[in-house]
Structure formats: C-alpha cells, structure tokens
Chain A
C-alpha cells in the first residue's frame, strides 16, 4: 500500500527566507501533485510532476521530482506572508482493480511571519 510522508508537518519561517520541504513515498509512481489549501477553503492545484527529473516553477515556489528516490521537493524562495497555507503532496496509485487514485500526505502547515 502506498504511503506518502511529508516533512516537516509544521513550518514557521520569516519573510524573505528560503526553505525546502519534502515529500517521499513508498512505492513506484510516476506522477506527483502539489496542492495548496487555505483555511476553510478547497484545494488549489500548484504543480503536476509527471516524470523523473521534472522541475516546475511558479513565482516563489519550485517543485521537483526524483522518481528513483521516490522524493519530491518544494522549494520556497524569499517567502512572503501570502504563502501561508497548508501544502499537500499527492501521489498517483493504482488499485488492485486497475483504477487509479491519489494518496495524499498529511500536509505541511506553513506560517510566514513578517
């Protein structure tokens, strides 16, 4: 059964600083997604990573995928308060019946302080 772990689960950082968060998973998969969730809101898609070595950047966030290491990173550059949210990674998993589903990590709550 696929397990997805995020590290850290809580992060408090100052504006302007950089940080990398991690998502690792237990079985082979070729697709990984990052989502953002603001309190009381739904999930917003940030990145879709489809192959080994994939790197995507949007604003102050950059995500990468290493399928051999079963690891994705989300790098935050020069954090701003607006980045405060919970970030989930999700990994595609195929069920025994052949259907596909996403397995989510526990989420990382990010607080960016002025």
Chain B
C-alpha cells in the first residue's frame, strides 16, 4: 500500500470547470511533487514544494495552480484546462537529503484526469 494518498482517482471535467486534486502523506517528508504523465511517456515534473515553499515550477501554465497548506498536504487547482491536459497526475514525496536520507521519491497512485 502506498503511503501517499491521492484523491480523486478519476476526474472528468469540462474546459470551464474548476476542480482540485489532493495529495496527502504521513511519512514526515518535507518535499512534495506534482508530476504529469501522458500515456507511454515518462513522468514530467510540474512543481516541487520544499518545506511548504514552492521551489520548482517547470514553466507550467497558470491554469494549474499548486498549493501546499502544510507539510502533509499538496493540492493542484485546475481551471480552464484544455483536452491536451488529460493525463495521469502523480503526487510524490521525499525526505530532504540531509543526513542519511536518500532523496527517494514515493509516489501516490495518481489521479487520472480527462478534460472534455
């Protein structure tokens, strides 16, 4: 069982809708990530939060808006998406690299998004 929980597992939305994806981890990790994965492609990094601060934004369009309310939670707010944004959205967490931490990412099961 994954210790990174994502909801919802499936989401269908229209181009004018506003929705949110949610991610939660209880491993005490201080870094959280959003990845986007299209079929038969590798995951593409979107955002990284480190200690609740946005540390990486991979030039993601503003129709995707991340939020990290606390170190256990990560949201991705969606607004005015396009059909090409349909993909599997993966959340991940990791401990920072201090001490013996390995930087290993632990992934959630993903939220499969379809934009009509």
Contact = CB atoms under 8 A, between A and B. Distances in A.
A112 B47 CA distance: 35
Interface residues of A, number: 23
Contacts of B2: 42
What does DSSP make chain B's interface, helix, strand, loop or mixed?
A: loop
B90 A43 contact: yes
What does DSSP make chain A's interface, helix, strand, loop or mixed?
A: strand
B50 interface: yes
Contact of A104 (B43, B48, B97, B108): B43
A100 B56 CA distance: 9
A83 to B, nearest CB: 19
Contacts, number: 50
Given A101-B45, A101-B56, A106-B42, A33 B104 contact: yes
A105 B42 contact: yes
B31 to A, nearest CB: 8
Contact of A100 (B90, B103, B108, B110): B103
Contact of A107 (B42, B48, B102): B42
Interface residues of B, number: 20
Interface in B59-81: none
B85 interface: no
A106 B37 CA distance: 11
A45 B105 contact: yes
A104 B33 CA distance: 14
Top 4 closest A-B pairs, CB basis?
A: A104-B42, A99-B55, A43-B107, A42-B107
Interface of B: 2, 41-43, 45, 48, 50, 55-56, 90, 97, 102-110
Given A35-B107, A43-B90, A99-B55, 5 more contacts: A42-B109, A42-B110, A48-B102, A100-B103, A102-B105
